[in-house]
Amino acid sequence: MDTRFEHLRKSQSAAFWALDTLDLSWEFLDGLDRRLQKSKDASELRSISPDASAKPSRAVKPGSSSLNTGLHSGSSSLKTAVEEETPKQVEGRTLVYKGGAYTRLISIFNADGSLNLTKIVSTPPCDFHPIRLDLYFTKQWDVAVEYAGFAHTRVPSQEPTVLTAAIPSEYTSSSVEVFGHDWRKLVWLSRNRSVFLQNGGALPGELSAYTEADVLIGLTCRTGGEQIERMTSAEELTVLKTQKGDKVTQVALNGARMIPRFLEECRGYVWVASMRAPKRAKHFRP
């Protein structure tokens, strides 16, 4: 095990990371198989000689097929991705990041430039909700880089990658922050399934200001789910810190209300860059 990422590894159970590593390996092999098949099909087409007496037919404009299916918005206008350096700032918008493996993060793009969040949303239970599919980012670039490195360490064939999204600044300016005792209680009830079920399978009304917030900002829990279930108190929870010792904060977009807005308002404002070629980020212009 790479000790550089011990702090990240302990944020989830060994079973979670084992399954996630298998998923990343499968995603890489599946993508490789698709590329090889596409190359084979193209080679076979080039090897076929057309009938000299046949008249050429009119070209047919390609349809708008998506790279993936799921939480995505579509369009009939086919666009081409460009490669450019990720901006350091975008007027009227706030940059947020997500680090991980290339094949997973690049899946945010459909073929026409619309967005697909199938593999980007976090699987519950998460820090801020036990059952809802929310969209988590960080405002700390170095945190995303660490997660990218951790993914690459587990599956070396996967390129370490950072996804950058320029969200409207109103998302964060109108956000709700959760810290201190309320943070501990929210994480405790969200991540501890036993306590959640003992509470009637619902979060208490006193936390509704956080659970109903469109955008919630707070610290990231370092304690894994299975370890939380063995704890006796929320006071035992620990906060995730970077390799430099800085506390890690996260930005959570309420899945029920903000995913539709993100799909519409952030199209054209997402960049996906491998750390091996940071100035060649994949991007669909607005």
Q: What are the pLDDT digits (tens) for 219-274?
A: 999 998 788 989 999 999 999 999 899 999 999 999 999 999 999 999 999 999 99
Given the structure tokens 């997660």, which residue do they identify? 147
Q: Which residues pair with 83 in a beta bridge?
A: 282
Task: Tell me the per-residue pLDDT of 78-122, one tens digit each, with 9 for 90 and over.
Answer: 468 899 999 999 999 999 999 999 999 999 999 999 999 999 999
Model pTM?
Answer: 0.81
Given the structure tokens 């997973």, which residue do they identify? 104
Q: For 139-158, what is the mean pLDDT?
A: 94
How is the chain split into domains, by residue range? 3-43+88-283
Nearest to 86 by CA among 272, 245, 263, 252: 272
**Cis omega (within 30 of 0) for bond into 56:** no
- How far apart, in whole angstroms, are the C-alpha atoms of residue 200 and residue 40? 55
Given the structure tokens 């952030």, which residue do they identify? 266
pLDDT band at 47 (very low <50, low <70, confident <90, very high): low
